[in-house]
């Protein structure tokens, strides 16, 4: 095989390998003075991920495919308050302080925790935005304070 042809084939192979290994990334920056809870739905992922981003910090989220991502944010303190009732119920079950164990109740509690999006009660004032990411374009998400000074604002670039 001629050297030129071989080099071309190697180049094509390298490009194909790079395409196979490439991934999409979304950078979420918390520009507020408080910890923010983010719920991240990356392209192709069936279950959203939830994590906290401390004031002034940023987190990077990765996906091995291109597509639409969605970021939802609430103040972490509000998120914790929302889950404290569930925590109290779980504690009661664990400590055996109930006369009877209600299986339906346990099932309801664990399933509710699994449906992260449903936990975002409207009282938490969740805000969200979406964008497209691919091998070449990253998502940049900024969370700040709303211009009115009350609540959060979010921008997906």
Closest CB to another protein among 17 and 98?
98
Tokens standing for residue 61: 């989220």
Report yes or no: 7 and 120 within 8 Å, Cβ to Cβ. no
Task: List residues binding another protein (CB under 8 A).
Answer: 37, 43-44, 46-47, 49-52, 65-68, 76, 79-80, 83, 86-87, 90-91, 93-96, 98, 101, 103, 106-107, 109-111, 113-114, 116, 119
Residue 149 Cβ, how far from another protein at the closest point, in Å?
Answer: 26
Nearer to another protein, 5 or 46 (CB): 46
C-alpha span between 14 and 153 (Å, rounded): 42
For the bound state, the minimum distance from the C-beta of residue 147 to another protein, rounded and expressed in Å, comes to 28
Distance, in Å, from the CA atom of 108 to the CA atom of 115, rounded to the nearest integer, reads 11
Nearer to another protein, 8 or 12 (CB): 12
| CB 45 to another protein: min, Å | 8
CB of 79 to another protein, least distance (A): 6
Cα separations in angstroms, 57 against 23, 31, 105, 119: 22, 8, 38, 24
For another protein, the closer CB: 120 or 129: 120
69 token code pair: 């991502």
First and final C-alpha spacing in the chain? 47
């Amino acid at each position: 095989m001629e050297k030129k042809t071989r080099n071309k084939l190697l180049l094509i192979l390298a490009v194909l390998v790079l395409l196979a290994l490439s991934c999409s990334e979304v950078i979420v920056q918390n520009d507020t003075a408080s910890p923010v809870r983010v719920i991240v739905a990356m392209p192709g992922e069936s279950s959203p991920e939830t994590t906290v981003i401390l004031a002034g910090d940023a987190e990077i989220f990765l996906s091995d495919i291109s597509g639409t991502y969605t970021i939802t944010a609430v103040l972490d303190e509000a998120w914790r308050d929302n889950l404290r009732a569930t925590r109290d119920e779980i504690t009661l079950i664990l400590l055996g302080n109930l006369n009877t164990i209600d299986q339906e109740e346990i099932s309801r509690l664990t399933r509710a925790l699994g449906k992260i999006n449903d936990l975002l009660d409207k009282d938490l004032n969740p805000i969200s935005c979406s964008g497209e990411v691919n091998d070449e374009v990253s998502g940049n998400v900024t969370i700040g304070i709303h211009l009115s000074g009350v609540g959060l604002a979010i921008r997906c670039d």
